[in-house]
């Protein structure tokens, strides 16, 4: 997941970035509104963390500009606890707010919850597992902060495995759904696709191999 953090407190942003990286939340820091606007126009993010008190303008003033550029969810970071101020931020387009000082674990929970709601409401068939995000209609997967292009078959394999009700899919099912043919003993096409996906995506930083071969059953994603 990629987050744009807009805050001019260098000590705060440095510490928060280190903490969020532990949860595969990768942070781009901008310390003023003008540079944040330029960053939004050239890069893709999943969530924006926006401080209210900023040099060169209020975070509240920046909200309408964000909404003209994108519909990425925004969490306001504020030292204010005035109801009128918080309502103003929500009215201008913020999705949530958290009052400083806050628990970093609470912020992680807020980021994940708002990203989950946003993702579920989108129509581009986006799927998420840990640090992996699949954009099936675009044949692309994001691992951490890196975008990786996939073939249609590779994208479909990940999509099917992410949504497998029994957490695994048989080889026969994958041959039918992905390759549109019956599985033959000498046909290694599916194995080649899985091998290519393992190479492209690399191992999970904690769980290791992302694709499990289940003897006598089929394939599964490591969850």
Which residue segments constitute the domains of the chain, with CATH numbers given?
A: 2-121 (3.40.50.2300), 126-221 (1.10.10.10)
Q: How far apart, in whole angstroms, are the C-alpha atoms of residue 223 and residue 211? A: 10
The H or E element containing residue 2 is strand 2-6
CA nearest to 178, candidates 194, 196, 154 = 154
pTM, two decimal places: 0.57
Helix axes 152-162, 189-201, angle to 10 degrees: 80
Task: Please report which confidence band the pLDDT of residue 123 belongs to, taking 50, 70 and 90 as the band edges.
Answer: very low
Q: Which residues contact 65 (CB under 8 A, 6 or more apart)?
A: 33, 37
Average pLDDT over residues 111-117: 84
Token couple for 94:
């913020």
Per residue in 172-188, pLDDT (tens digit) is 999 988 887 888 888 88
Per residue in 2-59, pLDDT (tens digit) is 999 999 999 999 999 999 999 999 999 999 999 999 998 888 899 999 999 888 788 9
Alpha carbon 119 to its chain centroid, in Å, reads 9
CA nearest to 45, candidates 76, 5, 3, 75 = 3
Q: Is 212's pLDDT higher than 90?
A: yes
Average pLDDT over residues 56-83: 84
Average pLDDT over residues 142-150: 92
Lowest mean pLDDT across 122-131, 152-161, 163-172, 205-214: 122-131
Using only C-alpha atoms, the chain has a radius of gyration, in whole angstroms, of 21
Lowest mean pLDDT across 18-27, 35-44, 89-98, 140-149: 89-98
Judge contact between 66 and 95, C-beta under 8 A. no
Residue 134, SS3 per DSSP: strand
Token couple for 177:
């759904």
Strand 47-51 versus strand 74-78 pairing type: parallel
Residue 7: predicted pLDDT: 97
Task: Please report which confidence band the pLDDT of residue 122 belongs to, taking 50, 70 and 90 as the band edges.
Answer: low
């Amino acid at each position: 997941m990629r987050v744009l953090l807009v805050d001019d407190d260098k000590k705060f942003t440095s510490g928060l970035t280190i903490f969020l990286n532990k949860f595969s939340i990768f942070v781009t820091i901008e310390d003023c509104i003008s540079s944040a606007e330029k960053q939004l126009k050239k890069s893709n993010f999943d969530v924006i963390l926006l401080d209210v008190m900023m040099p060169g303008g209020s975070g509240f003033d920046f909200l309408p500009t964000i909404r003209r550029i994108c519909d990425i969810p925004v969490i306001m970071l504020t030292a204010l606890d005035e109801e009128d101020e918080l309502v103003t931020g929500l009215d201008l387009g913020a999705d949530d707010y958290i009052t400083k000082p806050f628990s970093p674990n609470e912020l992680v929970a807020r980021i994940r919850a708002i990203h989950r709601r946003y993702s579920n409401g989108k129509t581009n068939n986006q799927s998420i597992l840990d640090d992996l995000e699949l954009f099936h209609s675009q044949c692309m997967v994001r691992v951490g902060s890196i975008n990786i292009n996939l073939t249609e078959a590779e994208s479909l394999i990940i999509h099917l495995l992410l949504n497998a009700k029994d957490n695994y899919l048989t080889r026969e099912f994958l041959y039918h759904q992905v390759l549109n043919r019956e599985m033959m003993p000498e046909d290694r096409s599916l194995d080649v696709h899985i091998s290519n996906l393992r190479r492209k995506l690399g191992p999970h930083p904690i769980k290791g191999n992302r694709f499990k071969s289940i003897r006598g059953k089929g394939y599964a994603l490591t969850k």
